[in-house]
Amino acid sequence: MIGAGSWGTALAALLCGKRERVTLWCRELEIAESVNTQHRNALYVSELELPQNLVADTDLARVAATHRVLVMVVPTQFTRAVVEAMRPHLRDDAVLVSASKGIEVQKIETLAEIYDEMLPEAMAQRACFLSGPSFAREVIRGLPAAVAIACRDAAVLPAIQELFFFPHFRTYRTDDVVGVELGGALKNVIAIAAGICDGLQYGHSARAALLTRGLAEIARLGIAMGGKAETFAGLSGMGDLLLTATSTQSRNYTVGHRLGSGETLEQIQAGAREVAEGVKTADAAYRLAQQKGVEMPIVGAVYAILYEQRNAREVVLELLSREMKPEVTG
Ligand SMILES: NC(=O)c1ccc[n+]([C@@H]2O[C@H](COP(=O)([O-])OP(=O)(O)OC[C@H]3O[C@@H](n4cnc5c(N)ncnc54)[C@H](O)[C@@H]3O)[C@@H](O)[C@H]2O)c1
Ligand SMILES: O=P(O)(O)OC[C@H](O)CO
């Protein structure tokens, strides 16, 4: 497992139920020591006990060189640098499984596009993408969840699906990498919008409208990028949007709620250890939509509140003043 934040720790703990030993690569020595000696992650999900067969290692080159299946769970904006550091050490038969959700701002690229750019063609082709409604704490506690896993290489996908398949963690396979990735990345931006809507106390009807139109935006950009329409109705699309945009457990929803309640992004991010991917992805998605000529008014509104210091109420008024139109859902 490459990345020892909440989600890397949760997925590593899950896989411990199927493998004799799972290695967790940690940037932070403090995490490695606490996992190896106390079976806890001192900095993330620290209240939860971890399996005894989870072993932490801080040497990225060693972990990359000695494992065939590498699950990538570093926040999106750091993925390029971590892949760069791993690249010379990777085995020729390595299978990367991406479990992060976001779009990189630096080059406006999805994680699949970063892998395509940086890895040998066959290795990038067999990379898998796991995404869907799943909170780390709930997964560590063994509560039921279901997610999607996507891969372009049909020969690799069944084995990776089986690796991540448990009675309480059901994994559904698809070949739609673009759809799964974009659903997971963009739902975080719409979750920020939903939090803003609730922070402004606009009510449940407004939030339902926002989520429905938000999903239409996600599907519109996703289809323009080559994703399949039906994927956006699935676990990595509507499923994850429902979870993230309606739960106070979500970091993205919480950022939005605090913005809607009057705090600034600077105040919210000061001292925050955990990542809310939607903040950076809002920037990347706004630019991507412009590049592709895709209309995304809700993403534009989140961008204006986050990056143009626009007043949230005024931005919502502008959204509500848009012209009359037919209902198109993708
Ligand atoms: N937490 C969840 O419930 C959950 C569920 C599904 C998907 N995800 C996704 O998983 C990914 C990881 O999120 P998380 O919740 O594990 O993160 P987190 O907020 O719990 O932890 C932050 C992580 O960032 C790492 N980090 C900080 N600076 C870094 C740097 N310069 N280089 C490399 N790594 C650095 C830290 O070591 C840590 O592993 C995100 O894309 C997130 O959207 C999270
Ligand atoms: O806490 P969030 O907002 O990062 O969401 C976590 C997961 O992506 C939910 O599926």
**Domain stops at, among 151, 175, 199:** 175
pLDDT at 123: 98
Q: Band the pLDDT of 232: cuts 50, 70, 90.
A: very high
CA-nearest residue, atom 1 of ligand 2: 250
Q: Are residues 154 and 238 both part of a single domain? A: no
Of the pLDDT bands very low, low, confident and very high (cuts 50, 70, 90), residue 203 is very high
Residue 277 counted as domain residue: yes
Q: What is the residue range of 68's domain?
A: 6-175
Is 29 in the same domain as 75?
A: yes
- Same domain (yes/no): 279, 309: yes
Check pocket membership of 132 for ligand 1, CB cut-off 6 A: no
- Please give the pLDDT value at position 212: 98
CA-wise closest residue to 298 among 190, 219, 199: 190
Catalytic (active site) residue 187? yes
- What per-residue confidence (pLDDT) applies to 308? 97
Give distance in angstroms: CA of 253 to centre of ligand 2. Answer: 9
Is 258 inside any structural domain?
yes
On whether the pTM is more than 0.80, the answer is: yes
For residues 108 and 249, state if they share a domain: no
Which residues are annotated as part of the binding site for NAD(+)?
3-8, 78, 136, 251
- 157 with 259, same domain: the answer is no
134 lines ligand 1 (CB under 6 A): yes
The tens digit of pLDDT for each residue in 60-103 reads 999 999 999 999 999 999 999 999 999 999 999 999 999 999 99
Under 8 Å between Cβ of 175 and 162 = no
> What number is the average pLDDT over the span 231-250?
98
- Residue 107 domain-assigned? yes
Q: For residues 63 and 89, state if they share a domain.
A: yes
Regarding whether 204 and 87 lie in a shared domain, the answer is no
Q: Which residues touch 199 (CB under 8 Å, ≥6 apart)?
A: 256, 257, 258, 259, 260, 261, 262, 312
Q: Is 135 in the pocket of ligand 2 (CB under 6 A)?
A: yes
Domain boundary among 152, 175, 198: 175
Residues sharing a CB contact under 8 Å with residue 272, sequence separation 6 or more, in sequence order: none
pLDDT of residue 330: 80
Q: Assign 112 to helix, strand or coil.
A: helix
Share of the chain above pLDDT 90, in %: 99
Is residue 215 in a domain? yes
| Confidence check: pLDDT of 271 > 90 | no
What's the domain count of the chain? 2
Note the helical H segments in the chain.
Answer: 6-15, 29-38, 60-66, 76-86, 111-118, 121-125, 136-140, 157-163, 177-199, 204-224, 240-244, 251-260, 265-269, 278-292, 297-307, 312-320
Tokens of 57: 């290692």
pLDDT at 141: 96
- 196-205 average pLDDT score: 98
Of the ligands numbered here, which is closest to the C-alpha atom of 250? Answer: 2
Q: Is the CB of 76 under 6 A from ligand 1?
A: yes
Looking at every residue in the chain, the average pLDDT score rounds to 98
Give me 201's structure tokens.
Answer: 């106390």
Residue 153, domain member (yes or no): yes
- Please answer whether residues 31 and 5 qualify as being in contact, where contact means their C-beta atoms are separated by less than 8 angstroms: no
Angstrom distance (rounded) from CA 4 to CA 72: 10
Q: Which of 269, 251, 263 is nearest to 194 (CA)?
A: 251
Residue 144 pLDDT level (bands cut at 50, 70, 90): very high
What sign does the dihedral 141-143-148-151 (CA atoms) show?
A: positive
Distance 262 CA to ligand 1 centre (A): 26
Asked if residue 327 is part of any domain, the answer here is no
Asked whether residue 330 is assigned to any structural domain, the reply reads no
Q: What is the pLDDT of residues 275-320, one digit of tens each?
A: 999 999 999 999 999 999 999 999 999 999 999 999 999 999 999 9
Q: Are residues 165 and 16 in the same domain?
A: yes
Nearest atom in ligand 1 to 3's CA: 39
Q: What is the pLDDT of residue 246?
A: 98
Residue 215 backbone dihedrals phi, psi, to 5 degrees: -65, -35
Q: Ligand 2: does its nearest atom lie under 6 Å from the Cβ of 250?
A: yes
Query: Both 114 and 52 in a single domain?
Result: yes
pLDDT band at 200, cuts 50/70/90? very high
How far away, in angstroms, is 254 Cα from ligand 2 center?
A: 10
Residue 150 has pLDDT above 90, yes or no: yes
Q: Average pLDDT in the 199-228 region?
A: 98
Give bridge partners of residue 95 from the DSSP assignment. 69
Question: What's the CA gap between 178 and 180, in Å, rounded?
Answer: 6
- From CA 89, how far away is CA 66, in angstroms rounded? 9
